[in-house]
Chain A
Amino acid sequence: MIVYIALCDKNGIIDRVIRNIPIGSINEGQNIRDLFEDSEKIDSLLTQTHSYGVSSQLRLKSGKNSFVYITIMTLKDKCLVFIYDIESPDQLTLLTETALSVLNVPEITGNESYESGYYEIQKLNSQLINYQRTLAKTNARLQGLLEEAHAAKCTIEELERDTLTGLYREKIFYDKAHKIISKYAESDFDIIAVDIEQFKIVNDTFGSDSGDRLLMDLAVCLLSIQSDNKVLITRARADTFFALIPREKNIYNNLQKNLNIFIEDYPLPMRLQIKTGIYEITDRTLSVARMCDRALLAADSIKGIFSRKYAFYDNSMQEKLMLEQKIVNTMVESLQRGDFLVYLQPKVDVNTEKIIGAEALIRWNHPEFGMISPGDFIPIFERNSFIYALDMFVWEKSCSILGDWKRKGLCRIPLSVNVSRVDLYHEDLPDTLFSFIQTYDLCPHDLHLEITESAYVKDSVQLLTIIKRLKQKGFIIEMDDFGSGYSSLNTLSELPIDVIKLDLKFIREAENKPRHQKVMQAAINLAKELNLQIIAEGVETKAQAELLKELDCTFAQGYLYGRPVPESEFLKDLKNV
């Protein structure tokens, strides 16, 4: 392709070369006419005025002896000369573009002369490139910052997550939940607490890998409730999960369904119990942490109750908790001050109604709440281990009573005391009890130890060993609450026991139901066969007493024969009998 554009005068002297796609070295000051063979033709083109241009085809002097097109247009006193040729039609566009580029030349468009503006244009062009460069640099920097921010966000997200389950960490959950609750002021939300009962056993028995796996799997199961971005889940403590969920119909049914399936299919040879507590957020001024406490309180309220999988929080739970806290706060002081009292309840021969022994029972005369039922404080003390201190108090008090009776020759009946399952974990228990016996100059069989049935079942070898040691020391062992748990009759013969105390439910159910009576009869017969004494608890009516006689159960305890009373009253009753 050839495109040569130049401005020249009427004589052909080139004033300015605008484009030169290569035709050779023909430059300013030279004559355009020198390019062509036919000087006459080019002369005539140059000398005439062609306001709209005139074209021709001329043979070039130099080079390939070829023809080129020439178009000349007159501009005032100058000529604009186009010399051009193309090899193929697709060069046409480039040719046109190049031709049109002369419009940018000020001398042609009549603007200021090119020379003066040349450096300005160059400067401007460079400046534009420098702007572009600065922009590109800034962009790259922004991109870098963006990536850094993204990385930082990822790190933050990672830090926000519990490494085991990938759920939010507790603190992050609190923050995010608070934001969501505040943001959606019109929506109702619940906080749920999900807790695996006896999770420690999983870790102890199957190893912490299994425990971790269980937590991860449970996390996945819980994520099934994550229906939208308003649902947040955290693993707050070892085996406690909290979730914030917008209140919805059926959500708990679905959750429960999922949890049931989860438990049913879970590949661990252990019956998992998962409790869900729900706090329906009513008081939005509470901190999320407090809301979670409430949900957990609801979950805790059904711990150990097999049939209940979930519970809603209500204010009584909170009150109960407050009460518990007060109990805990005052227990040590109370024990020192002597607020705890030992009451005695008689055990009788049903046929003669003669007192054959008594059970020492604890009572708490609280300076603030008055008399508190053992049912309210014993479980708390069992949880916080204060029970051992309290039981020791009862044991020593009972021994002191027995010693007193012995010295004064008042009576020679044995007293039975409760030994909590928790007490059995104290290795020194047999020695402690024996030291009381010695202190008050008693025989071990003067003191009967009532150990609840569940102790024999739940905790295996270790507890049985302790009970055996107690029996070896000569203490009489009574199995308390027989029938309330799951003790198996065929292992009864192997247990280190002397007495069976039939749970009070037994007699209540047997009263009007012949089938239950049959079961009770069988139990009584079995005990006798095994040479075990049997005492029925909770006898309240004459009819029940009659039934016992009928079933040939010799001994009983219950309101019918006497309520738990202070020692002085007990002695009075004893005299009256």
Chain B
Amino acid sequence: MTPGLAFALLLAGTLAWFLLPLIPALRELLRPTDIMPLQVVGRDAADVALFARGFHAYLGRQLSRLPTDTPEEQVGRLPDGTPFVRGRRLPEPLVEEARREEGLDRVVVLLAAGAFGGGETFLREVYATAALAGGPGSIYRALLGDQSVTLGPSSTVLRWAHARGELLVGDGCLLAGRASSDQAIRLGAGVAFDRLAAPRIVVAGGSEVPDLPPSPAAAPLEIPPDRARLVGDHLRVEGDLTIPAGASLQGYLVVTGSLVIGAGATVTGNVKAHGDIAVGEGAQVRGALVARGSIRTALRARVTGPVVAEAEVVFGPGAMIGEPTQPTSVAAPRVELDRGVMVHGLITATDGGQTA
């Protein structure tokens, strides 16, 4: 072997060794398999009824493509092959099928008001054009109602539920995913949920929540200058802060410790605590509440703005969040709602929410 050949072989071997790990890269470069922009822009997580609207549009498209002589009551397949049943009520054999362990594997379209007896499992979406009342212990993949929808006790919705009328949720139900209404959601006791959205979200038992006596006129609170300093448009208080009962405070506030808002006190402005926030009986916050820890409200406390906690939110009996004319958002890993709580707007509990 000549020195030239040896050098050429060494060079070729070295190049091959260098290029070996680049083979997948070169293949991807020459024959791309993944060159589209990330499909992430524009997704709207805050639109709780997005899936319901998407399903309604899908179903409308499918039904409009059925032959014009298709009878109103039908058990068959949609043009895309999805099995479905449509009628004024669910035929008895299909009711029996839904009560079996494997459940009913058809999209259900109900054209008249009706009720299920309970214990059914629907593996595909249920759409009711009139009021629908579910029985106890039923399982729905997803549920859409043009009017009111009632979920019987201990029922489960796996993906989403939306009612254009009221959505009434029985005791012990599980609302996994999204639940929304164009009018109101009424929650029974022991309901577990993830995301709720409605002009009014009401927990049962409000009539049992005692009223509070009218609060006396609030006295303005002065925070000593050695405890607070003005940072731009907010007052920053180092350490813990207690706003005394009946006091009032105006302006944005940041507390680097925990914050206690005493009974009957009023804070006007957005408020944040690096620790926890406790809102006393009948106290009012006319603005947002933000905490790195937890937020707890006592009897009949009110907050008009967004409530955001990085640990948990616990609303006590009769708490009112948001206003009928100005809905707002509640967001925390865990959210607990006591009797008579009313939230106008949106609740997101990323690790799960629960009613008392």
Q: Do these two chains really belong together in a complex?
A: no
| Partner-B contacts on A (CB < 8 A) | none
